[in-house]
Amino acid sequence: MPSLWIQNARVIDPAAKRDSVGDLFISSDRIVASLSAADKKKAKKIDASGLVACPGLVDIHVHFREPGQMHKETIETGCRAAAAGGFTSVVCMPNTSPVADTAGTIQQIKDSIARTACVKVYPTGCITVGMKGEALAPIGSLKRAGVIAITDDGDCVQSNELMRRACEYAKMFDLPLMDHCQDHSMTAGAVMNEGVVSTRLGLRGWPNAAEDIIVSRNVILATYTGAHIHMQHVSSRNSVEILRRAKARGVPVSGEATPHHIALTDDALGTYDTHFKMNPPLRTEEDRLAIIEGLRDGTLDIIATDHAPHTDYEKDKEFDYAPNGILGLETALSVSLDVLVRRSKFKLIHVIDMLTRKPARIVKLEAGTLAAGAPADVCLFDPNEKWVYDAKAGFSKSANSPWHGQTLQGRVKTTIVNGKVVFNQGKITA
């Protein structure tokens, strides 16, 4: 590959506390401090005037549906959507068909990654066999097979004793444990947030307490076992406060927020549009503001998309019967910039940190920095460009997005993975 010389960019590298206009140099698959005079003459030059150059974005919560649900998404199409959104590293959840609870399934996923992925994809393994919450999966075998975390995302482990043992094994094998925090006994039949809006719409409500109870349980178990438990897609203001107090005590827990939970509330469900149906559900304005404050003060560590593709015919049902979940990869940066930078006055470097260095650190990836010697994973974006998002013309195999047809601000222009341009000016180039 020719060397790359990215010129005149606003370079933002939170790991180095760098935010300044300058150049970036890439030789082979690594960032380098500079190029020789001879290499500069031969290098491919990218004029990044007016653009931000930051580490490739990292998303530790995506659903690529392969194997078994490839009518919704594949590793190939999911990676293309990731590249279009500026993501160079993604962590895929194990709720596939079959679920990723054996070394054989992990190997199948890794083989597909090797064949079709244009960005870096890292698999997770299940906490329990079949994601049924009844017996532990072979966590040691999964670690040897290459998983970087364990989770039963979508099916929270209900047994406190089983979760305790999972924590002990996760600690033993140095794996973070990711948890979708939901007490199933409180959410049977629930399809949206419990509150005034659910009462008005006549829909069964999902109370905050169902999340808060499990977050509290996980704080206790992390304290007891020393295992790192990461709370996925936190949506409740009470859960934010529980995590805030736990972190003040040094408990090894972390948490994520999604772009949709910082941007939307349950008021959006007034027309029964299933593109606003997700789990955990959109909550109240008070919850939304609490999540933003959690991101501001570090209680919530990162932004993750929970990219969850579904086909049109699956979403085109009565609200009670439509599946939960929305797309997120192609819109995450724009939505985060709008809500956090423009409306909530976050510094841009802070938001980039929550999309790069911090998620990479949680799952121990070699990513999230532009330091010399680091992998040459770079995102170039225009923070000011306005564009209309057409989910049906996007790179995902599905189109279930609440932002379809909306004008967004902030657009990814180029994505570079290991020194190779994989997305440029609206087209996949890998």
pLDDT in tens, 98-146: 999 999 999 999 999 999 999 999 999 999 999 999 999 999 999 999 9
Q: What's the rounded mean pLDDT across residues 296-314?
A: 98
Residue 32 predicted with pLDDT over 80: yes
Q: What pTM, to 2 d.p., does this model score?
A: 0.97
Instruction: Note the pLDDT of residue 30.
Output: 97
- Number of Cβ atoms within 10 Å of the Cβ of 37: 7
Q: How far apart are CA 109 and CA 74, in angstroms?
A: 10
pLDDT at 1 over 90: no
Q: Which of 101, 152, 266, 306 is catalytic?
A: 306
Residue 37 has pLDDT above 80, yes or no: yes
C-alpha to C-alpha distance for 143 and 290, rounded to whole angstroms:
35
Residue 2 has pLDDT above 90, yes or no: no
Q: How many residues does the chain have?
A: 430
pLDDT for res 402: 98
State what percent of residues in the chain have pLDDT above 90. 99
Q: Running DSSP on this structure, what letter comes out for residue 393?
A: G
Cα-trace Rg, the chain: 21
Q: Domains in the chain, ordered, with CATH?
A: 4-52+375-395+409-424 (2.30.40.10), 56-362 (3.20.20.140)
202 Rama class: left (phi>0) / alpha (psi -120 to 50) / beta: left
Summarize the confidence of residues 382-391 as an average pLDDT.
Answer: 98
- pLDDT tens readout for residues 321-378: 999 999 999 999 999 999 999 999 999 999 999 999 999 999 999 999 999 999 999 9
Work out the burial of residue 174: count CB atoms within 10 Å of its CB; fewer than 13 is exposed, 13-18 middle, 19 or more buried: exposed
Tell me the H-state helices in 59-193. Answer: 75-84, 103-116, 139-145, 160-172
Is-cis flag, bond preceding 67, omega within 30?
yes
Best CA proximity match to 157, nearest among 53, 263, 49, 229: 229
Residue with tokens 């222009």: 413
3-state helix/strand/coil string of 115-132: HHCCCEEEECECCEHHHC
Task: State the pLDDT at residue 54.
Answer: 98
Amino acid at 216: S
Q: Clarify whether 306 is annotated catalytic.
A: yes
* pLDDT above 70: percentage of residues in the chain: 100
pLDDT (0 to 100) of residue 390: 98
Are 82 and 62 in contact, with CB atoms under 8 Å apart? yes
Whether 245 has a pLDDT exceeding 80, the answer reads: yes
Q: Helices 285-297 and 237-248: crossing angle, nearest 10°?
A: 20
| Helical packing angle, 103-116 and 75-84, nearest 10° | 60
Residue 405 binned pLDDT confidence (cut-offs 50, 70, 90): very high
Bridge partners of 31, per DSSP, are 26
pLDDT at residue 430 above 90?
no
Average the pLDDT over 413-426 and give the result: 98
Q: What is the DSSP string of 163-179?
A: HHHHHHHHHHTT--EEE
Mean pLDDT of the chain, nearest integer: 98
Residue in the block written with tokens 């930051």: 54
Letter string b/e over residues 228-266, b meaning 16 or more CB atoms within 10 A of that residue's CB: bbbbbbbbbbbbbbbbbebbeeebbbbbbbbbbbbbbbb
Q: What is the pLDDT of residues 215-228, one digit of tens each?
A: 999 999 999 999 99
